[in-house]
Structure 1
Amino acid sequence: MARISSEQADRLPVSERHIVALDIDGTVLSHGFGGAGDDALGGHIDPDLAEAIRALYLAGHEIVLSTGRSVDATIPIAERLRIRPEWMVAANGAVTLKRDPLAHRAYRREYVEAFDPSDALKKIRTRLVTASFAVELADGGFLYTQPIPTGTLPSEQRLVPFEKLLGVQASRVVVVSPDHDLEEFLDAVSTLGLTHVSYAVGNTSWLDIAPDGVTKASALDVIASRMGIDRSRVFAAGDGRNDIDMLRWAGRHGDSAAMGQAVPEVQAAARRVTGTIEENGLLAALRERFPEVLGA
């Protein structure tokens, strides 16, 4: 792989830049390795993959981490990759971050989509009575009814009764129901008739709810417009149900790849399927898409 100096990063004309939108968990980051590169947020980033992402960044392409994680859990991944992207998408598209040019490591919340989650929460609670409920607030705080064990949520958290989740301005709602297996969970969610919200169910019994029409794809579309990059020069990769809209959007205009371990409906949303996270599938997809930077 060719080494590219940081001075080259600004030399690529806008007409030649690509947006490279990357999901984090299960795409860039794998879990359970426990190696020296793992940190408190959990997970392992393959060194060759990290080098490839950094090479694309230094070549002048726009790397956009696009994740369901909170802001607090997204920025450290960029730091581990040793990149400072201009844009990042958190909370499944509800929060879009922009790098602050006046501060070395700071990002500001450029766009925040918020909604009142009361109706959705009340409806879900009638079917999933033993579930844990949480709300990520528009200002970045996090209210929860029972602890949710994950490193992808905000650091500022507060235990509250269910009623305190109602009537707030939320960027997303999280519902976790370990008492239900995935099939039961999917069946319950399908019968809820949720309206005026966007939602995605994870590979475990985990439900993320965002404001109506807000997805990773909607956030990336705004970023592409702001940067003046044609949608035909967008590449996206992901592995979860919350990536479906992003993969379809990118594939419709440009290119998209689903990870090999993704469920069939996620794979069907992408233009192509790459290897699993264990097979370093993202690295293979990036090399195929950007041979001029990464080699075949």
Structure 2
Amino acid sequence: MLAKVSDPERHLIALDLDGTVLNHSGPGAGDDPLSGAIDPGLSDAIRTLHETGHEVVIATGRSVDATLPIVEKLRIRPQWVIACNGAVTLKRDPLAHRAYRREYVEAFDPTDALLKIRTQLATARYAVELADGGILYTEVIPTGTLPAEQKQVPFEELLGVQASRVVVVSPDHRFEEFVGAVESLGLTHVSYAVGSTSWLDIAPDGVTKASALETVASKLGIDHSRVFAAGDGRNDIDMLQWAARFGDSVAMGQADPEVQAAAGRVTGTIDEGGLLTALRDRFPILL
């Protein structure tokens, strides 16, 4: 039986999934984008931190449907899970063994953003994740990180809905062209992050992983000095900056320079076991 940490030692440990916990290119990753491979040593470390009383919070851009199977795979039962880049925060139902309820859902009308984007990216593919968890899409988006419940619709049916997340993918554009087109749009009243491919994630204004984690930290009564966060993508920048302000944040070694600059420190790549190294540096119990 592992000894529990005392309240003054308890940390909030916020972990991105894809590229941080999940390796999609290493041995055992397979072809399913939903799964990826988790290093056994890393999985054991995360479970040890959880079982000793630290609050491990998965903070991902994935939908709820694509997030909870990874929580199961880690064999942890965290109290809080953050999905959709902070737009959906789940809380474990104490009356059910593994059930989670949507505790906080941020939603917005994506009409203005979608119409602006379409003027610059006419051949893009669009998906809108609804506040209730379903998804409407114009053309198939090749990813396993979206909900299972999907419905193909004309572009016009994406307008005027309540969305927690908008995804725009433009395979016809080179990444540099895509970024230039997005930056020229002057999007306001939304939060957005551009991925490493021609992929755009849009959330309600002011909603990020950091904003959701701020709420969770407040609910738990955990001081900002006892926050640890790790990530590798542009959608992690706000989270890494937030955690680095008073606590500890770590960018993965394969992250883009702007992501690394947002973090307090940089660890090894996911292939090098960078997250496990960073966790061992921070938490002596893992040594």
Give the alignment's TM-score, normalised by structure 2: 0.97
How far did residue 203 of structure 1 move?
Answer: 0.5
How far did residue 92 of structure 1 move?
Answer: 0.1
How far did residue 39 of structure 1 move?
Answer: 6.2
- In the TM superposition, what whole-angstrom CA distance separates every residue of 1:113-171 from its partner, at most 9, and x where no partner exists? 00000000000000000000110000000000000111111010000000000000000
- What SS does the corresponding residue of 1:200 show, helix, strand or coil? strand
- What SS does the corresponding residue of 2:139 show, helix, strand or coil? coil
Counterpart code for 1:98:
K
- Percent same amino acid among aligned pairs? 75
List alignment gaps of at least 5 residues for structure 1: none
CA change 1:17–1:144 in 2 (3 A) is same
How far did residue 40 of structure 1 move?
Answer: 6.9
Q: Which residue of 2 aligns with 1:210?
A: 203
Q: How many residues align structurally?
A: 287
Q: Which residue of 2 aligns with 1:283?
A: 276
Provide the C-alpha distance between the structure 1 equivalents of 2:118 and 2:31, rounded to a whole number of angstroms: 36
* Alignment match of 2:113 (pick from 107, 120, 123): 120
Moved more, 26-35 or 79-88: 26-35
Tell me how large the CA RMSD over aligned residues is: 1.3
* Alignment match of 2:162 (pick from 133, 156, 169): 169
CA change 1:117–1:103 in 2 (3 A) is same
Provide the C-alpha distance between the structure 1 equivalents of 2:158 and 2:29, rounded to a whole number of angstroms: 39
Provide the C-alpha distance between the structure 2 equivalents of 1:153 and 1:57, rounded to a whole number of angstroms: 26
Provide the C-alpha distance between the structure 2 equivalents of 1:278 and 1:89, rounded to a whole number of angstroms: 25
Task: Please say if residues 34 and 43 of structure 1, whose CA atoms lie closer than 8 Å, have aligned partners that are also in contact.
Answer: no
Provide the C-alpha distance between the structure 1 equivalents of 2:35 and 2:69, rounded to a whole number of angstroms: 11
Q: Which residue of 2 aligns with 1:77?
A: 70
Counterpart code for 2:155:
F
Q: Which residue of 1 aligns with 2:193?
A: 200
CA change 1:17–1:76 in 2 (3 A) is same
Q: Which residue of 1 aligns with 2:56?
A: 63
Q: Which residue of 1 aligns with 2:131?
A: 138
Provide the C-alpha distance between the structure 2 equivalents of 1:210 and 1:240, rounded to a whole number of angstroms: 15
- What SS does the corresponding residue of 1:74 show, helix, strand or coil? helix
CA change 1:71–1:95 in 2 (3 A) is same
Counterpart code for 1:103:
A
- What SS does the corresponding residue of 1:49 show, helix, strand or coil? helix
Q: Which residue of 1 aligns with 2:286?
A: 294
- What SS does the corresponding residue of 1:105 show, helix, strand or coil? coil
Provide the C-alpha distance between the structure 2 equivalents of 1:161 and 1:37, rounded to a whole number of angstroms: 33
Matched, 1:231 2:224: yes
Matched, 1:260 2:248: no
CA change 1:186–1:97 in 2 (3 A) is same
Task: Please say if residues 100 and 107 of structure 1, whose CA atoms lie closer than 8 Å, have aligned partners that are also in contact.
Answer: yes
Provide the C-alpha distance between the structure 1 equivalents of 2:270 and 2:247, rounded to a whole number of angstroms: 22
List alignment gaps of at least 5 residues for structure 2: none
Task: Please say if residues 38 and 44 of structure 1, whose CA atoms lie closer than 8 Å, have aligned partners that are also in contact.
Answer: no
Provide the C-alpha distance between the structure 1 equivalents of 2:73 and 2:25, rounded to a whole number of angstroms: 17
